[in-house]
Amino acid sequence: MRKNYIQMKRGLLFTIIACVGVWLLVGAGWLSAKTAQSPLWIAVASLSMFMPLIATIITQKVNRESVLRGIGIRWKFNRWWIVAWLLPVLMAFAMIGVACLLPGVHFTVESPIMVDTLEQLNSKLPGGSTLTPATFLLILMSSGLIAGATINALLAFGEEVGWRGYLLKQFAGKRFLFTAVVIGAVWGLWHAPLILMGHNYPSHPVAGVFVMIVACVCLAPVVQFIRLKSGSVVAAAIFHGSFNAFASLGILFLDHTDELLTAPMGVAGIVVFLITLGALHLTDRTVLPSVIKIESQEKFIINKNKAV
């Protein structure tokens, strides 16, 4: 009982610090009266991703724990790192397919966004050279794979150290799905100030808060699955970074988009998250009904037998 109380207290303190931190940062951005598409807001959104990392450090300091220790920052490479890197690519194309099943949405290589983007790029190319949609897609794929495993992963590391590192540790002894749902809800709620200011769902800032929470609850088990199977929060950061790099690919190939429906964190994304979780479950049917256990200071494992 005492162990559960300590875990709950530490998890709550971390959550409060992470949420207050992002509210203060977004509030400072709001006072600047800039839009969500301005360079300042891009900087605010990027800095926000480090708030869970800062919250982890502060919470560990308060509780006299070793800073950034015992939260799964391990560099031992395995095949799940590759899965973390490439799975978001498949998910992005799956989102396009699911979006096309929605009423009034069709696949096209001549979407308004694609046409405008290619016109701007081609106007800057020398010698009358032009980019085709296929060539542009190859460039996006290449740059996305590089960014997903580098700069995007670095930014995502700021979040994952908190969500799938420190906060996950506080759920040792709890069921996998229960843990993923609670962390997913906190993760989604943490985004609220950014969304209310027009991030992710600029046309639906209020409804977007609730959709984001549902989307994060559905995505969290996927990230947690990779986190535990890889044995490292670094792999979770790579997945998160790669997902951010490819998630919006669909808007280039759809003739109609709606942030709540066809966006990566909308209905199409939620459906794909659940399908992906089902596919991962087929690779190891023992994970979803399992209990999370900490084997050593840095290694989290899946206890397939009983709660601890």
pLDDT digits (tens, 9 = 90+) for 62-98: 999 999 999 999 999 999 999 999 999 999 999 999 9
Residue 308: pLDDT band with limits 50, 70, 90: very low
185 band by pLDDT with thresholds 50, 70 and 90: very high
Higher-pLDDT residue of 2, 102: 102
Which pLDDT tens digit goes with each residue over 148-174?
999 999 999 999 999 999 999 999 999
* Whether residue 249 has pLDDT greater than 80: yes
Helical H segments across the chain, by residue range? 2-31, 39-48, 51-62, 79-99, 112-122, 133-149, 151-161, 168-169, 176-190, 192-196, 205-230, 233-246, 267-283
Cβ neighbors of 78 (< 8 A, separation 6 or more) are 230, 231
The model's pLDDT over 109-132, given as tens digits with 9 standing for 90+, comes to 888 888 888 888 888 877 667 888
According to the model, what pLDDT value does residue 109 have? Answer: 85
pLDDT of residue 307: 39
Query: Looking at per-residue confidence, does 264 or 4 come out higher?
Result: 264
In this prediction, residue 20 carries a pLDDT of 95
What is the percentage of the chain residues whose pLDDT exceeds 70? Answer: 93
**pLDDT confidence of residue 300:** 62
| Per-residue pLDDT at 18 exceeds 50 | yes
pLDDT tier for residue 304 given thresholds of 50, 70 and 90: low
* Predicted model pTM: 0.92
Mean of the per-residue pLDDT values of the chain: 90
Q: Looking at residue 306, what is its pLDDT?
A: 45
Query: Do residues 237 and 52 make contact, with C-beta atoms less than 8 angstroms apart?
Result: no
pLDDT bin (cut points 50, 70, 90) of residue 296 is low
CB 191 within 8 Å of CB 32: no
User: Rounded distance, CA 154 to CA 234, Å?
Assistant: 9
